[in-house]
Amino acid sequence: MSGVFSPSRAKIAVRTLRTDRWWLQPAITVAVLVSFIIYATIRAFEAKFYFAEPLISPFYSPCLTSACPTNGSLLGQPFGTIAIFGMVISPALFILIFPLGFRMTCYYYRKAYYRSFWQSPPACAVAEPHKTYTGETRAPLILQNGHRWFFFAGLIFNVLLSIDAVLAFRNAEGQWGHMSIGTLVLLTNATLLWLYSASCHTCRHTIGGRLKHFSQHPLRYKLWTWVSVLNHKHPTFAWISLFGVALTDVYVRAVSSGSISNLYFF
């Protein structure tokens, strides 16, 4: 008998006396994240309908293997064909490692999945089901301390996806000076990803949080105050940027598969 049922604590037989619907938020979190994981997995293995000149899905950018269309990346196809036991590996599987790592180690998502998936705890003042707890002091969870490396990798992807959005100001023939719904979709996606990264706790720390004397670094202090404002909205940016990535892929897939045509404004 441990925790709230320890001998010295008040003798109360139930794990919580909360009367509100404390289970709702973790349930929604599980539903949304599982849905995203299923969708992303299907799309990563599908390995087609991810490119429709000039649009490319964020799941497949930068597309650097010979499985990609030749005009799918400004960086060419430096990795050639990657195959295991004769099976060509989808380029998305290599790309998704980095954004997945960034989100898995994100301080906000950690809260979300520790509560909802691991029930540690499922909600505040609701006893968790585990007998022991060591937090993030041992492998594998001690690796959460590597969040900053995924943050920096995420910045590289943000740059690449921003370039994709700029390239989307072309038409299907590669001529500049055009704009379509796809352009807006890619721009929105890149903007949301920048907001998610800029509001990140590691960004806040790197930009100025680690300083002891703000007064000696006025520029970094100013940047820190801006990032701190964004940091208040980090959970919001975490969710809407996740939806943004999925919906961008849905749109590119729909255009690439011919289900819809990419409407051009000019």
Partner 1 sequence: MARKLNMRIWRGDSVDGALQDVQVEANEGEVVLDVIHRVQATQMGDLAVRWNCKAGKCGSCSMEINGKPRLACMTQVASYGEEETITVTPLRAFPVIKDLVTDVSFNYKKAMEIPAYAPPSDLKPGEARMQQVDVERSQEFRKCIECFLCQDTCHVIRDHEENKKSFAGPRFFIRIAELDMHPLDTLRNRKQTAQEEHGLGMCNITKCCTEVCPEHIRITDNAIIPMKERVVDVKYDPVRWLGSKIRKREGIV
Q: Is 223 in the site for partner 1 (CB under 8 A)?
A: no
Task: Name the segment binding partner 1 (CB under 8 A); options: 8-16, 83-91, 183-191, 240-248.
Answer: 8-16
Out of 79, 89, 155, 205, name the contact with partner 1 by CB under 8 A.
205
Task: Name the segment binding partner 1 (CB under 8 A); options: 46-54, 55-63, 119-127, 165-173.
Answer: 119-127
The least CB distance from residue 12 to partner 1, in Å, is 6
3-state secondary structure 212-240: CCHHHCHHHHHHHHHHHHHHCCHHHHHHH
Task: Give the contacts of 77 (CB within 8 A, at least 6 positions apart).
Answer: 63, 64, 65, 66, 68, 70
Number of H helices, E strands in the chain: 9, 4
Q: Is 127 in the site for partner 1 (CB under 8 A)?
A: yes
In this structure, how many other beta carbons lie within 10 angstroms of the beta carbon of residue 217? 14
Distance of CA 133 to the CA centre of its chain: 27
| Phi-psi map region of 86: left, alpha, beta (phi>0 left; psi -120 to 50 alpha) | left
Q: Is 125 in the site for partner 1 (CB under 8 A)?
A: yes
CA distance 16 to 111: 20
Q: Is 174 in the site for partner 1 (CB under 8 A)?
A: no
Q: Is 233 in the site for partner 1 (CB under 8 A)?
A: no
**Which residues in the 52-111 window bind partner 1 by CB under 8 A?**
107, 110-111
Q: Is 239 in the site for partner 1 (CB under 8 A)?
A: no
CA distance 165 to 188: 9
**Which residues in the 141-160 window bind partner 1 by CB under 8 A?**
141-142, 145-148
Q: Is 11 in the site for partner 1 (CB under 8 A)?
A: yes
Out of 36, 117, 214, 239, name the contact with partner 1 by CB under 8 A.
214
CA distance 114 to 147: 16
Q: Is 6 in the site for partner 1 (CB under 8 A)?
A: yes
Half-sphere exposure of 38 (CA within 13 A, CB side): 6
The angle formed by the CA atoms of residues 7, 11 and 17, to the nearest 5 degrees, is 130
Q: Is 220 in the site for partner 1 (CB under 8 A)?
A: no
Task: Name the segment binding partner 1 (CB under 8 A); options: 56-64, 69-77, 186-194, 202-210.
Answer: 202-210
The least CB distance from residue 15 to partner 1, in Å, is 9
In this structure, how many other beta carbons lie within 10 angstroms of the beta carbon of residue 243? 13
For partner 1, the binding residues (CB under 8 A) are: 2-4, 6-12, 16-20, 107, 110-111, 114-115, 120-121, 124-128, 130, 132-137, 141-142, 145-148, 201-202, 204-205, 209-216, 221, 231-232
